[in-house]
């Protein structure tokens, strides 16, 4: 994947809750990102195949294709982009969600979150991606 080094970085938000995606868009655009939104993993796949992204902000539980399934697809088809995934979830009580997050080793942000927490997790993820 080519990083948008000459222009703004691109981020894809995969989120089915409009209020959360709107907050993410506003915050990330304020940080200088070009932002696109997909409401599920299937739509995100189509967008990833047609556009280059630097980071993905992925809700683990979305309809049609979950964030877990999207991440597995990324590991197979685009491992470099998989290293730019930031997960979010409101479902930390389920053991399978906790296990998945631990196995993936990617940053995650539990819902609900503040704009400050979103900026902080993005900065953590971007520093980790530079080291790869």
**Domains in the chain, ordered, with CATH?**
10-130 (3.40.50.2300)
Gap between the Cα atoms of 124 and 113, Å rounded: 15
50-72 per-position pLDDT tens digit: 999 999 999 999 999 999 999 99
Gap between the Cα atoms of 107 and 8, Å rounded: 22
What's the confidence (pLDDT) of residue 52? 95
Q: Residue 84: which pLDDT band, with cuts at 50, 70 and 90?
A: very high
* Segment (H or E) for 72: helix 67-77
């Amino acid at each position: 994947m080519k990083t948008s080094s000459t222009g703004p970085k691109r981020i894809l938000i995969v989120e089915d809750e409009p209020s959360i995606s709107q907050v993410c868009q506003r915050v990330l655009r304020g940080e200088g990102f070009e932002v696109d939104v997909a409401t599920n993993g299937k739509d995100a796949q189509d967008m990833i195949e047609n556009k280059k992204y630097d980071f993905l902000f992925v809700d683990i539980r979305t309809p049609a294709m979950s964030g877990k399934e999207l991440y597995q697809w990324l590991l197979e088809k685009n491992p470099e982009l998989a290293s730019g995934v930031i997960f979010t979830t409101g479902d930390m009580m389920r053991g399978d969600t906790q296990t998945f997050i631990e196995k993936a080793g990617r940053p995650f942000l539990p819902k609900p979150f503040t704009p400050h927490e979103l900026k902080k997790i993005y900065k953590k993820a971007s520093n980790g991606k530079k080291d790869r």
